[in-house]
Amino acid sequence: MNSVPSFDLLIIGGGPGGYVAAIRAAQLGMSAAVVEREHLGGICLNWGCIPTKALLHSAEIYHDMQNASAYGIEVKGVGFDIKKIVERSRTISKQLNKGIGHLLKKNKVTVIDGSARLDGPGKIQVKTTDGKVSSLSARNIILATGARARILPGLEPDGKLVWSYREALVADTVPKSLLVVGSGAIGIEFASFFSTLGSKVTVVEALDRVLPVEDEEISALAAKAFRAQGMEIHVSATVKSLVKSKNSVAAAVEHNGKTLDIKADRVIVAAGIVGNTENLGLEGTKVKVERTHIVTDQWCRTGEPGVYAIGDVAGPPWLAHKASHEGIICVEKIAGLNGVHPLDISRIPGCTYCRPQVASIGLSENKAKEKGYQVKIGRFPFAANGKAMALGETEGMVKTVFDAKTGELLGAHMIGAGVTELIQGYAVAMGLETTEAELMQTVFPHPTLSEMMHESALDAFGRAIHF
């Protein structure tokens, strides 16, 4: 009788949560295996975070070259090849995918290509890519199956005229006109990419502002910038129907009690995501699913003993770095390490790589007030920063939210060039429970964009020097 392969930890899903959890488990001396049905690295590395940033950087270079004369540089005949832009993006993803495989091999993590489902306490059933079915056992199982694009009735992607993020990532053409449904990070990044390459972009958002998870003041500045770039934006609006013709789509959009008729060559639907909880064998277990996401406690435990869930399948915020951090917390708790801290999602930075970039962490001004805080708000504009002027990037602002009583940094919100890199400074500050006193006493290098972070903190307490 053949014995069933057994591991200390089995992970279903090899995305940024799953593969990081596996590596950390191996570091702690645990035998670990990852079952992945498609691509190591998950959606983020293969069809999300990384390839979109590659596309957006190509668009940024194109934009800079078009405006090179502002820097005293003459460039003629600027153009682009969308196929080569996409090819570069896909090459980067493939390179990183191989890198993840190398890391797992280096750490002696067993990788199994196939689909897996729970098959009783401490067991999973695996169907490999060649169709064979086998069983594995483990003392602990982590579900890291991620999420997928939400499909709205009547707005189903067809791969030709109506795209999800996957089709948008491998576009073979830049449409003359584009309708983007949803203005979260995914929708706005694609809107920014195609707009920069010349598409006439219209954005439709059901909520009352674009980038609705951001601070309201930042959302307003973003909307102003997008409109100045030529985007048409409709908020508090919903797409009621799409009518396809041979090479275009007619959308009926309900806005302020009226119906707008919008025609576009292509449509991108970016209206949120749903967790991948199907076909996992959750039936008959104590794993609870709410609104397509698995319910967990602060240590990523589900209701079923020995079964954990991390990343997008376990709920928002749907961010790769959140998934990775949850994976580490989960594994370290399983290993019984001392000093493991639960994840505080209020201290997770979020970034949107549009033009201008947007980044934030913690409470917005209004959220802080709703929670009962008396706040002090600091602001500092890019236009008053020497490095921003030297870069020709004077559009933007850094905003900080402090508790007026204690000086605690409650939140930080940025819009402008490079802010997706700057935000980590505030993430470290919040992790160290920094108050305004420490930020004011910190020496920031000159000339840098980071000086605005200092000035914003100073401004909150009436001490800004350069504004």
**Which positions are annotated as active-site residues?**
446
Q: Is residue 410 within 8 Å of 362, Cβ to Cβ?
A: yes
Residues 250 and 246: their CA atoms lie apart, in Å, by: 11
DSSP 3-state percent helix, strand, coil across the chain (nearest 5): 35, 25, 40
**Residue located via tokens 């990081």:** 20
Residues 374 and 280: their CA atoms lie apart, in Å, by: 46
CB atoms within 10 A of CB 172: 8
Q: Assess whether the previous peptide bond of 153 is cis (omega < 30° from 0).
A: no
Residues 459 and 467: their CA atoms lie apart, in Å, by: 8
Residues 208 and 158: their CA atoms lie apart, in Å, by: 28
Residue among 46, 28, 148, 62 nearest 101 (CA): 46
Indicate the residue type of 147: A
Residues 68 and 80: their CA atoms lie apart, in Å, by: 16
Residues 362 and 375: their CA atoms lie apart, in Å, by: 13
- Kindly list the strands in the beta sheet with 232-234, ordered across the sheet, starting from the edge strand earlier in the chain: 162-163, 266-269, 177-181, 200-204, 232-234
**Residue located via tokens 């505080």:** 344
